[in-house]
């Protein structure tokens, strides 16, 4: 993925290339009606809920240009081939705290098989739109978070056991 940042008040342009380690794992996610709310999201794995957490995919940030905003997350289903690195706990996290938004669904796949597990996530949420909604496979509900402090809103699954590292 390549990202270019142009600052209108400066003659300087920054370009960065990101290459995520690919494996046989995959993450799929469906943003809500305003996909730009998911800018700054990361997908992470760990072998303990206390971490340390390792980022295996980063959505990047929205880019503001004189013509308007270029969202980092397009509408509809998004997916990326990644390497979970043997993590037991897998989560999506909105890196920026104190922000509201909606994520419809998050799915994690290992070797082409959708992973299931015990859901976990952040509080607070708005109304009945709890973190488990982003992990239940039902597209008529969602996780709507509200002003979540650091580390930001998150929703994930405990796959139940440590996984062997994905071979390269």
> Residue 89, exposed/middle/buried by CB under 10 A (0-12, 13-18, 19+)?
buried
**Where does the pLDDT of residue 117 fall: very low under 50, low under 70, confident under 90, or very high at 90 and above?**
very high
What is the reported pLDDT for 107?
96
Instruction: State pTM to two decimals.
Output: 0.78
What is the reported pLDDT for 78?
92
């Amino acid at each position: 993925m390549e990202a270019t940042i142009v600052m209108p008040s400066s003659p300087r342009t920054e370009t960065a290339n990101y290459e995520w380690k690919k494996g046989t794992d995959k993450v799929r996610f469906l943003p809500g009606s305003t996909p730009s709310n998911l800018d700054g999201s990361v997908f992470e794995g760990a072998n303990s809920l206390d971490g340390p957490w390792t980022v295996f995919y980063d959505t990047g940030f929205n880019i503001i240009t004189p013509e308007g905003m270029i969202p980092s997350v397009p509408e509809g289903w998004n997916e990326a081939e990644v390497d979970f690195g043997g993590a037991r706990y897998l989560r999506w996290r909105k890196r920026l705290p104190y922000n509201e938004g909606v994520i419809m669904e998050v799915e994690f796949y290992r070797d082409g098989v959708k992973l299931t597990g015990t859901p976990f996530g952040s509080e607070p949420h708005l109304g009945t739109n709890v973190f488990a909604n982003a992990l239940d496979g039902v597209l008529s509900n969602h996780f709507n978070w509200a002003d979540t402090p650091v580390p930001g809103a998150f929703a994930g699954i405990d796959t139940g056991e440590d996984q062997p590292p994905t071979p390269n």
